[in-house]
Copies of this chain bind each other. A is one copy, B any other.
Amino acid sequence: MPTRSSGHGSPTIGTVAAEAGVSRATVSRAFSQPHRLKPETVERVLEVARRLGYAVNPMAKALSTGRSGNLALIVPDIANPFFPPMIRAVEQRADTAGYAVFLGHTDEDPAREDLLITRFAKQVDGFVIASSRMIETEIRAHAERRPVVLINRDVARIPRVLIDTTSGVTQAVTHLAELGHRQIAYLGGPSRSWSDGQRRRTVKRVGERAGLSVAMLPGRRASYESGREAVPAILATGVTAVIAFDDLLAHGVLTGLAERDIDVPGQFSVIGCDDVLAAQTYPPLTTVSSRAAEAGTAAVEMLASRLGSDVTGADDRLTLDTSLVVRATTTTAPRPTRKTRTTSATPTG
């Protein structure tokens, strides 16, 4: 029995229509295009709707309009303190733009990332993909189906917002050079990370230009433990300072160093990246600022503008500059007392 206005479940547009004595089309308009209706009609419909506790069913609406009003945010690792502020910002900005957001956690796995995006695809109007680990081809493929805005991943012709750590890392290297350090190391992060590539290249380039010998340590998971475990390798290179991919690693290094009774910054200088630990380490960590929240906000704005008007727009690429925040883990290089020896791997320079 196809009764539109039954009284059991949540009220539908039909229920309201019947009760208000108008057509379903009118009820629909009362919500989506009130200006095309006589004010008193709108008022009456809305009143009835309120009384009945009616609310538009987003899925039905989506099916009809082709726009879901949903976005998906994909991140590699929620547990990394770099992301929560970004997630928060995306959520907030999306919310004010009327979007609800799905959260996808890829656990740094490109395959999982690909899968998640595919699963979300039909249910969202667009994606914000942070620190994507997928290969360009895959990213492009997805971007062709749905609007995509990338964060910290530079793929031509795909809207993206990049936290440019070149500036901050350059300052970091220069800072160390000025303090008299002659040998420094870069402790890498996730290998597929665009940010890591950028930082790695910057340290190398700027370091060598400043006449420093710089050791590159292989990338690893960005975590406190990884940093702690990397200390022996770092020391083996004989450097007097290290710049880590991020604060988490740097924090771990601080601990590893402390465990070996190596004084920071007295005997060794450490610099982090992202400034997520603020002054919460001991000693307070010198680091490169980040702008995760801003990036999130900007990404949603880009996405929203794409969704609003079908602008095939220019090649959107927003970069956010960073800078060095000097705290207490860096100081002048120790005089070359004992000669630290490299054992096997990791040549310098």
The interface of chain A, by Cβ under 8 A from chain B, is 10, 55-60, 62-63, 68, 70, 73, 78-79, 81, 84-85, 87-88, 91-92, 100-105, 118-123, 145, 224, 251, 255, 278-282
Task: Kindly list chain B residues whose C-beta atoms are within 8 Å of the C-beta of A10.
Answer: 122, 145
| Those 10 A-B pairs whose CB atoms lie nearest each other, nearest first | A282-B282, A103-B103, A78-B84, A91-B105, A79-B84, A78-B88, A59-B62, A57-B122, A59-B59, A59-B63
Task: Kindly list chain B residues whose C-beta atoms are within 8 Å of the C-beta of A118.
Answer: 55
Task: Kindly list chain B residues whose C-beta atoms are within 8 Å of the C-beta of A59.
Answer: 59, 62-63, 68, 122-123
Task: Kindly list chain B residues whose C-beta atoms are within 8 Å of the C-beta of A282.
Answer: 281-282
Task: Kindly list chain B residues whose C-beta atoms are within 8 Å of the C-beta of A100.
Answer: 102, 119-120, 123
Roughly how many angstroms separate A118 CA and B91 CA in the complex, as a whole number? Answer: 16
Could you tell me if A103 and B105 are in contact, using CB atoms closer than 8 angstroms? Answer: no
Task: Kindly list chain B residues whose C-beta atoms are within 8 Å of the C-beta of A57.
Answer: 63, 122
Could you tell me if B63 and A60 are in contact, using CB atoms closer than 8 angstroms? Answer: yes
List 20 A-B residue pairs with CB atoms under 8 Å apart, sorted by A's residue number. A10-B122, A55-B118, A56-B122, A59-B59, A59-B62, A59-B122, A70-B102, A78-B87, A78-B88, A84-B84, A91-B104, A91-B105, A92-B105, A100-B102, A100-B120, A102-B102, A103-B103, A224-B278, A251-B280, A282-B282
Roughly how many angstroms separate A92 CA and B87 CA in the complex, as a whole number? Answer: 17
Could you tell me if B101 and A102 are in contact, using CB atoms closer than 8 angstroms? Answer: yes
Counting chain B CB atoms within 10 Å of each CB, which of A81, A91, A118 scores highest? A91
Rounded to whole Å, the gap between the CB of A181 and the closest CB of chain B is 24
Could you tell me if A103 and B87 are in contact, using CB atoms closer than 8 angstroms? Answer: yes
Roughly how many angstroms separate A101 CA and B104 CA in the complex, as a whole number? Answer: 8
Rounded to whole Å, the gap between the CB of A233 and the closest CB of chain B is 21
Rounded to whole Å, the gap between the CB of A111 and the closest CB of chain B is 13
Rounded to whole Å, the gap between the CB of A8 and the closest CB of chain B is 13
Task: Take A57-B122, A63-B63 as given contacts and tell me if A103 and B91 are in contact as well, using a CB distance cutoff of 8 Å.
Answer: yes
Given contact pairs A70-B123, A81-B81, a sample of 4 additional A-B residue pairs in the complex whose CB atoms are under 8 Å apart: A87-B103, A100-B123, A251-B280, A255-B279
Could you tell me if A85 and B79 are in contact, using CB atoms closer than 8 angstroms? Answer: yes
Roughly how many angstroms separate A84 CA and B105 CA in the complex, as a whole number? Answer: 11
Rounded to whole Å, the gap between the CB of A184 and the closest CB of chain B is 24
Could you tell me if B123 and A105 are in contact, using CB atoms closer than 8 angstroms? Answer: no
Roughly how many angstroms separate A105 CA and B90 CA in the complex, as a whole number? Answer: 10
Could you tell me if A122 and B55 are in contact, using CB atoms closer than 8 angstroms? Answer: yes
Roughly how many angstroms separate A255 CA and B122 CA in the complex, as a whole number? Answer: 49
CB < 8 Å: which of B58, B103, B251 contacts A123? B58
